Amino acid sequence: MLPFFLWLLFFIGSAYGIHFDWESIQLTEAETDNYPAIRFGDVDENFPLKPCKSIPGDPDWPSEAAWNRFNDTLDGVLLKPFPLATPCYAGPLYDPVKCESLKKAWGNMALHANDPISVCSQWASGDSCVPTSQPNSTCSQGGYPVYVVNATTARHVQMAVNFARNMNIRLVIKNSGHDFNGRNLGGYSLSVWVHNLRGVQYHPDFELGDYNGRAVAIGGGTPAADLYGIRSTYNTTIMLPGGSTVGVAGAYAQGGGHSSWSSVYGLTADNVLQIHAVTADGRLVKADAETNKDLYWAFRGGGGGNFGIVTSMVIATFPLTPLTGQSITFSTVPKTGQPTSNLTADVFWEGMKAYWGFCTALCDAGGFGYDFIRHATSQNVTGLTFTTSISLPNTTLSEARAFIRPLLERLNDVGIAIAIPQPQVQELLHPQRPQEPEPPQAPQDPPVHLSALNDPVHNTLIASRLFLRPNFATAPSLNLMSAAIRRFVEHGGYDFHGQIFTPNPSPRLTRPNAILPAFRSAIMHAQGYAPNAHWNGVSPVLSLEEQRARHERLQGYMQVWRDITPGSGSYMNEGDAQTVGWREAFWGSNYGKLAEVKGEWDPWGVFWVVGGVGSEAWVVGGREGFGGQDGRLCR
């Protein structure tokens, strides 16, 4: 006869469709009877709302004994970590050898993903503890959490949510830390680190409601790297990010999630079939097309960190869909060994118009484009370099060459000599990310910074806008768009990144969700960014006033993009959380319903992220409207 505990796990798993054993380990009402700090919440109860979250030194901040009891009840998974660069500073943890190692590896996202509090967007911590060669300078906790629950079961997540809610402590969520706006940071907070809630289960015949087909269940902390092998092992295509450290079930899928197949199968959020998550009352709930439909709708496009902590997610997959790729590059700077380039700036931008004129056909063919315009220097000549990787689904090499040939002919017509056909055409059966050709003699950034947006961008300013079909429809509209982007790049001095796709969901997965409606008519997700805008890895960290001025300058240049894209918006996962009109930009007409769902499921304000649903009701003290997280959170 099975022990009672195993019968309980079996019952919970059967009743709620649990996918992983650790998800069956849950907090019970009986455990909370003599421990009020971890009791479940009740949305129907009257409860006082304090004006600010508690911080150390406040009378209601938990004592050391309270934290110890919490840790004991958590089975010892409560951490109190120091910032990652602490070994570079004078004190008991000073270690110059380790510091040098950290400085060399600082641009490696895996370093930050495997640390309980370090993140991609270092600037949002207030750059309070950066790698340095001056050990007598200052390192502080800044915007990093004070305590971390290293969750390995659903019970750990539930206890963290309940403790934070009942003790009035700010709660943050860290998956991999791969976020451009610091949504995984929070000063004086308790963090739930879901990095170790991992697992992958492939289901060839997953049934739920009207869906019967391929699917994969993943743990809430599963990174993309753990899923790349699914394609070859099971001959199936799954929507995944290019960055291998990105947590798929986190803000990536919850905010949308694009991939090389988005013009064929839509966004990852379109393909989410089921979610298990711990909501603000501390309970583990299921959300799908049949259960908690409002939460299911909100989780798919409403953004990460808003509605709960995802413990598992089921995502539909598709028949194996190979891609055929083609890379193109041209530049106004000379190639190695050549004294000059044949391209003038005007010819360069004519080439860009030729490329953009090709993009609608690319999207309609189910293709994807991944391009950059970067400032580059070669042999003392400064100019611009354009690189793009174009991929087409289920296309032979000869078909790909024939499809791309009109673009190559047009580039030659405007004065950009490119061989026809391009010899770089290749079959990409299982690409992890579009292959981006290196610009000739690209300038070297400081070692702590990688400029490609799939890599760490620790101190980069970023903003984005969706350019819609009308922007590509006529020669005058193309001219207007090209002039706006040229001004941004040449006059503003910013780099440009474009992703060409139209995210139309598969006909079998057209369930409503919270994705920005304008996204469905987009041709280009355009990003502008300023590398090292907050800190270049060498000079002193910029003051708040200097950072704010740089942010306002970027938004000023972005206004031209907004002016020529009426009715459009911005992709929240790769945009500025403080963009002008962010609610309309990220969700459009869906924001009102999202706010209602947020109010119904989280009346306490347990979950808060900058630029998130309902975030306008709170402010981070000391930041004066600027987006760092190193202050106290107040209503």
Confidence of residue 444 (pLDDT cuts 50, 70, 90): very low
Q: Which domains does the chain have, with CATH numbers?
A: 22-186 (no CATH), 197-321 (3.30.465.10), 323-428+436-589 (3.40.462.20)
Confidence of residue 436 (pLDDT cuts 50, 70, 90): very low
Q: What is the mean pLDDT of the chain?
A: 90
Task: Quote the CA–CA distance of 99 and 129 in Å, as a whole number.
Answer: 12
Confidence of residue 622 (pLDDT cuts 50, 70, 90): confident
Rounded to an integer, the average pLDDT of 519-538 is 84
Task: Quote the CA–CA distance of 370 and 366 in Å, as a whole number.
Answer: 14
Lowest mean per-residue pLDDT among 45-59, 322-336, 436-450, 520-534? 436-450
Rounded to an integer, the average pLDDT of 467-482 is 98
Residue 108, Cβ density class (10 Å: 0-12 exposed, 13-18 middle, ≥19 buried): middle
Whose tokens are 């030194």? That residue is: 57
**Cβ pair 309, 194 in contact under 8 A:** yes
Q: Which two tokens stand for residue 611?
A: 């630029």
Q: Which residues pair with 381 in a beta bridge?
A: 378
* Statement: residue 443 has pLDDT above 70: no
Long-range contacts made by residues 347-350, C-beta under 8 angstroms, separation at least 24? 347/414, 347/415, 347/416, 348/383, 348/384, 348/386, 348/416, 349/482, 349/486, 350/414, 350/415, 350/416
Confidence of residue 451 (pLDDT cuts 50, 70, 90): very low
| Torsion sign across C-alpha atoms 619, 625, 630, 631 | negative
Q: Which two tokens stand for residue 553?
A: 């300058």
Structure confidence at residue 112 (pLDDT): 94
**Cβ pair 283, 257 in contact under 8 A:** no
Structure confidence at residue 426 (pLDDT): 65
> b or e along 554-589 (b: 16 or more beta carbons within 10 Å of the residue's beta carbon)?
bbebbebbbebbeebbbbbbbbbbbbeebbbbbbbe
Confidence of residue 342 (pLDDT cuts 50, 70, 90): confident
Structure confidence at residue 429 (pLDDT): 53
Structure confidence at residue 540 (pLDDT): 67
Rounded to an integer, the average pLDDT of 169-178 is 97
Structure confidence at residue 204 (pLDDT): 97
Confidence of residue 431 (pLDDT cuts 50, 70, 90): low
The full 3-state SS of 481-519, as one line of letters, equals HHHHHHHHHHHCCCEEEEEECCCCCCCCCCCCCCCCHHH
Confidence of residue 546 (pLDDT cuts 50, 70, 90): confident
Structure confidence at residue 459 (pLDDT): 72
**Cβ pair 53, 634 in contact under 8 A:** yes
Number of helices followed by number of strands (H, E) in the chain: 18, 20
DSSP codes, 502-570: --PPPTT------S-GGGGGEEEEEEEEETTSS--SSSPPPPHHHHHHHHHHHHHHHHHHHHTSTT---
Nearest to 128 by CA among 140, 117, 120, 116: 140
How much of the chain, in percent, has pLDDT values that exceed 90? 77
Nearest to 488 by CA among 437, 526, 545: 526
Structure confidence at residue 442 (pLDDT): 30
Rounded to an integer, the average pLDDT of 376-389 is 90
Helix (H) or strand (E) holding 374: strand 368-378
* Statement: residue 491 has pLDDT above 90: yes
* Statement: residue 122 has pLDDT above 90: no
How much of the chain, in percent, has pLDDT values that exceed 70? 89
Ranges 4-13, 85-94, 613-622, most confident = 85-94
pLDDT digits (tens, 9 = 90+) for 292-328: 999 999 999 999 999 999 999 999 999 999 999 999 9
* Statement: residue 49 has pLDDT above 50: yes
* Statement: residue 490 has pLDDT above 60: yes
Rounded to an integer, the average pLDDT of 182-202 is 97
Rounded to an integer, the average pLDDT of 242-260 is 96
Structure confidence at residue 228 (pLDDT): 93
Tally of CA atoms within 13 A in the half-sphere of 586 that contains its CB:
30
* Statement: residue 12 has pLDDT above 50: no
Lowest mean per-residue pLDDT among 11-25, 159-173, 537-551, 620-634? 11-25
Structure confidence at residue 533 (pLDDT): 67
pLDDT digits (tens, 9 = 90+) for 101-112: 999 998 889 999
Lowest mean per-residue pLDDT among 50-64, 190-204, 379-393, 435-449? 435-449
pLDDT digits (tens, 9 = 90+) for 211-223: 999 999 999 999 9
Whose tokens are 């979610």? That residue is: 275
Q: Which residues pair with 202 in a beta bridge?
A: 216
Cis amide prior to 421 (ω within 30 degrees): yes
* Statement: residue 452 has pLDDT above 90: no
Structure confidence at residue 531 (pLDDT): 75
**Cβ pair 449, 537 in contact under 8 A:** yes
DSSP codes, 130-171: ---S-TTS----TTS-SEEEE--SHHHHHHHHHHHHHTTB-E
Any alpha helices (H) in 257-370, and if so which ranges?
Answer: 262-265, 293-299, 345-364
Q: Which two tokens stand for residue 409?
A: 């002919």
**Cβ pair 262, 520 in contact under 8 A:** no
